[in-house]
Amino acid sequence: MSLPTVRTVADLRAQVAAWRGQGLRVALVPTMGALHDGHLTLVRRGRALADKVVASVFVNPTQFGPSEDFARYPRDEGGDAAKLASAGCDLLFAPDVSVMYPDGFATSIDVGPVTRRWEGAFRPGHFNGVATVVTKLLLQGLPDVALFGEKDYQQLQTIRRLVRDLDIPVSIEGVPTVREADGLALSSRNAYLTAEQRAVAASLNRVLRDVVERVRAEPGTVADAVAAGERALLAAGFDAVDYLAVVDVASLEPLERLDGPARVVCTARLGKTRLLDNFPV
Amino acid sequence: MSLPTVRTVADLRAQVAAWRGQGLRVALVPTMGALHDGHLTLVRRGRALADKVVASVFVNPTQFGPSEDFARYPRDEGGDAAKLASAGCDLLFAPDVSVMYPDGFATSIDVGPVTRRWEGAFRPGHFNGVATVVTKLLLQGLPDVALFGEKDYQQLQTIRRLVRDLDIPVSIEGVPTVREADGLALSSRNAYLTAEQRAVAASLNRVLRDVVERVRAEPGTVADAVAAGERALLAAGFDAVDYLAVVDVASLEPLERLDGPARVVCTARLGKTRLLDNFPV
C-alpha cells in the first residue's frame, strides 16, 4: 500500500480543502514518527470520527532540550508510511524543518500554569515547543478533530487549554494509552531500553495501579501512597523517579487528598531513558 | 442605520459561516473602539477587498500596562456602531472581557525580536497582549483578510510575523495612516490632548518628514538626522521623545545608514499622552 504524502503547507491545504468541498470531515493525528500501535490506534479512532485522516510526521526540534535525544530520535518515514496506510490513514504530511521554521521564525506560545510542573519542570521550554508546533499543525491543516494520546497526559491537557484559549477551531480528542501484554505503555522511546531495562520497565504501570488503588481506598493518604510508590519503583530497579504525584485532571496541580477527578502521573528513569505513564484515579 | 451586533464567538462564527457558504469573502477590522476616520478607512478598504466586513470592538486589557490608560480609554459603542454602519461595515463583534478571557485563561504568544525595541521596550508585555488577542480574533472569525493601520507600524509588523509564523490562514493588509489637515496622524488618544498640546502635536509629522528628507539626501547621516529630529521635537514643545529611529521595515532593527527599505518611527510625549507616528523612508 502506498500512502499519498505532501510536504508543503499549500499541498496539505489543497487536499484538505478538496475534501471539505465534498462535505467530508477531516481528522489530524500529529506524530513525531517512530510509530507504534498507540499511534495507529489514534488513526483508527480518527477514522471513526471523520471521513479522512491526515497524519503528520515531524520530529519537532523546538520541543527537545539541548541535552535531549533530538538527534538520535528514531526516524523511519518508509516504515511509518506503511503502518499508517495499513491503519486506514489517507494522507501523510511530512514537512521539512525549513517548512515549519523558515528563516526569521520567531514566535513562541506559552500555555501557562498547566505546563510548569512535572514534564515542564524537567524539560524547560518543552511545552512552549509543543504548543507552538501543534498550533501550526492545526492551522496548517484546519482539521475538524485532532487526536492525541493520553500517554502524554500533561501534553494533552496543555493542548486542550491552548485550543480553548486561542479559539483554535478544532475538537481535541484524547485516546487511552495502548499497552504491551505486561502493561508497559507503548512509547517510541521504549526502543532505547536494553532487555534488562525492559524487564524493569513493566513495574511502572503496576506500581501506578497500586497507587491508584491505595488512594481510592484511603483518599486522605495521598502522600503516603506516593512515597510508597516511589520506594517501589526504586526497589524494582528504576534509577530515579523524576516525579510521582496525584494531580487534578485539568490543572495538573498536586492534590493532598482525593476530593474530585484525579490522575496519577509519573516519570521514572532507566539509564538516560525517561518513561512516562499515568492512570485515572 | 443600525448595525447587526454579535457578542459571542458562536454567533460570530455562525454569521461568517453563512456568508462563506454563499461563496462570499470576509474581511475583519480589529479595533479597540473610539473610532475615527482612520478606522473607517480600514472598513472601506475591507469592502474593496471582500464582500462582507466585520469590525471588532474590544478594549483588550492584556495589552495595557498597570499604569496605563485602560480604565480611561474612551468607550462609545453606540457612536462606534453608527460610524461603522455609515462606512459600510456589515457586522460588529463586541465581546465582553469574559468572552475573550474566561476563567482559567492562561495562554500568551511572544513574537520575538520584532517586539523587543521601541513600543515593546516602553510597554513591557504590550505586544504579547496584542499578539494573543489578534490571534484569538483571527481564529474566532476566520476572515479571508484582516486590516490594520500603518499608524501602529511595529504592531503591523508584529502581526505579519505572527501570522506567518503560526500559519494563521488569513491575509494581512496594512493601510496607510490617515491624517488631519495639519498632518497629525489620527489616533483615539488625540482626544486626551489640550488645545495647547494639540498645536504642538502637529510638529511630530513635520519633524519626521524632515528626518526622511535628510536621510534620503545623505544616507550615511542617520545618527545626525535622528539627533536633529529629537532636538526639533523638544524645541517644538514635546515633553519627551521616547524614541526616534530609522529602522529596517521588517525587523525594526535600527539602521546606521540607509541601504534598503527603511521606516522612520517615533513616539513623543505631551504630558502623559504618547503620540506615535512613522513614515516610509
Measured between CB atoms, does A108 come within 8 Å of chain B? yes
> Catalytic site residue A39?
yes
Answer whether B9 sits within 8 Å of A166, measured CB to CB: no
Query: Do A160 and A180 meet the contact criterion of CB atoms below 8 Å apart?
Result: no
**What's the CA gap between A189 and A74, in Å, rounded?**
8
A139 touches chain B (CB under 8 A): yes
Asked if the Cβ–Cβ distance from A166 to B135 is below 8 Å, we say yes
Inform me whether the pLDDT recorded for B172 exceeds 70.
yes
| Mean model confidence pLDDT for chain B | 97
Are B53 and B27 contacting, i.e. CB atoms less than 8 angstroms apart?
Answer: yes
| A122-164 pLDDT tens trace | 999 999 999 999 999 999 999 999 999 999 999 999 999 999 9
pLDDT for B101 beyond 90: yes
Residue A278 phi, psi (nearest 5) = -165, 155
* Nearest CB to A167; choose among B104, B113, B140: B140
Cell numbers that stand for A31 in this block: 506524530
DSSP state for residue B186 in the 8-state scheme: P
Closest among B281, B221, B225, B276 to B248, alpha carbons compared: B281
Q: Which residue has the higher pLDDT, B219 or B194?
A: B194
Contact A161 B104 (CB under 8 A): yes
B126 labelled ligand-binding? no
Q: What is the pLDDT of residue A14?
A: 98
pLDDT in tens, B226-244: 999 999 999 999 999 999 9
Cell numbers 532636538 label which residue? Answer: B231
Return the C-alpha cell found at A54: 491526515
Bridging pattern class, strands A262-270 and A273-280: antiparallel
Tens of pLDDT along A82-112? 999 999 999 999 999 999 999 999 999 999 9
Other beta carbons within 10 Å of A269: 16
Q: A198 Cβ partners below 8 Å, 6+ apart? A: A184, A190
Angle at B101 between CA B99 and CA B103, to 5 degrees: 100
Domain residue spans of chain B = 5-175, 188-280
Cell matching residue B244: 526616534
B135–chain A Cβ distance below 8 A for any pair: yes
User: Residue A264 corresponds to which amino acid?
Assistant: V
Nearest-angstrom CA–CA distance, B3 and A74: 57
DSSP one-letter string for chain A = ----EE-SHHHHHHHHHHHHHTT--EEEEEE-S---HHHHHHHHHHHHH-SEEEEEE---GGGS-TTSSTTTS---HHHHHHHHHHTT--EEE---HHHHS-TT---EEE-GGGGTSTHHHHSTTHHHHHHHHHHHHHHHH--SEEEEETTSHHHHHHHHHHHHHHT-S-EEEEEPPPB-TT-PBP-GGGGG--HHHHHHHHHHHHHHHHHHHHHHH-TT-HHHHHHHHHHHHHHHT-SEEEEEEEEETTT--B-SS--SSEEEEEEEEETTEEEEEEEE-
Phi-psi label, residue A220: left if phi above 0, alpha if psi -120 to 50, beta otherwise: alpha
Are A190 and A210 within 8 A, CB to CB? no
8 Å CB contact between A106 and B109: no
Name the strand (E) or helix (H) holding B172.
Answer: strand B171-175
Among A100, A185, A96, which Cα is nearest to A138's? Answer: A100
pLDDT one-digit tens code per residue, B154-166 = 999 999 999 999 9
Q: Looking at residue A2, what is its pLDDT?
A: 86
A188-275 CATH: 3.30.1300.10
Selected from 3.30.70.1450, 3.40.630.30, 3.30.420.40, 3.30.1300.10, the CATH number assigned to the domain covering B188-280 reads 3.30.1300.10
The length of chain B is: 281
Neighbour tally for A275: CB within 10 Å: 24
From CA A128, how far away is CA A124, in angstroms rounded?
9
Average pLDDT over every residue of B91-113: 98
At residue B91, the 3 state secondary structure works out as strand
Any CB–CB contact under 8 A between B136 and chain A? yes
- The residue count of chain A comes to 281
**CB-CB neighbors (< 8 A) of A108 in chain B:** 109-110, 112
Domain B5-175 sits in CATH 3.40.50.620: yes
Flag residues of chain A having pLDDT under 70.
1
Residue A132 near residue A62 (C-beta atoms within 8 A)? yes
Q: Which among A27, A39, A244, A281 is annotated as catalytic?
A: A39
- The answer to whether the CB atoms of B110 and A108 lie below 8 A apart is yes
Give me the sign of the Cα torsion angle B256, B257, B260, B265.
Answer: positive
Those residues with Cβ within 8 angstroms of residue B280's Cβ, 6 or more apart along the chain or in another chain: B212, B249, B261, B262, B263
Q: Which helix (H) or strand (E) holds B115?
A: none
Angle, helix A126-141 to helix A153-166, in steps of 10 degrees = 60
- What is the model's pLDDT at position B201? 98
A161: chain B residues, CB-CB within 8 Å: 104, 106-107
CA B140 to chain A, closest CA, distance in angstroms equals 6
Cβ–Cβ under 8 Å, residues B92 and B3: yes
What pLDDT, on a 0 to 100 scale, did the predictor assign at position A169?
98
- Tell me the pairing of strands A5-6 and A108-110: unpaired
Q: What is the pLDDT of residues B117-140, one digit of tens each?
A: 999 999 999 999 999 999 999 999
Contacts of A168 in chain B (CB under 8 A): 139
Distances (CA, A) of B121 to B65, B154, B162: 12, 12, 19
CA distance A259 to A254: 12
Q: Residue B1 above 80 pLDDT?
A: no
- pLDDT > 70: percent of chain B: 100
- What amino acid occupies position A113? P
Angle between helices A37-49 and A77-86 (to 10 degrees): 40
Its ipTM equals 0.97
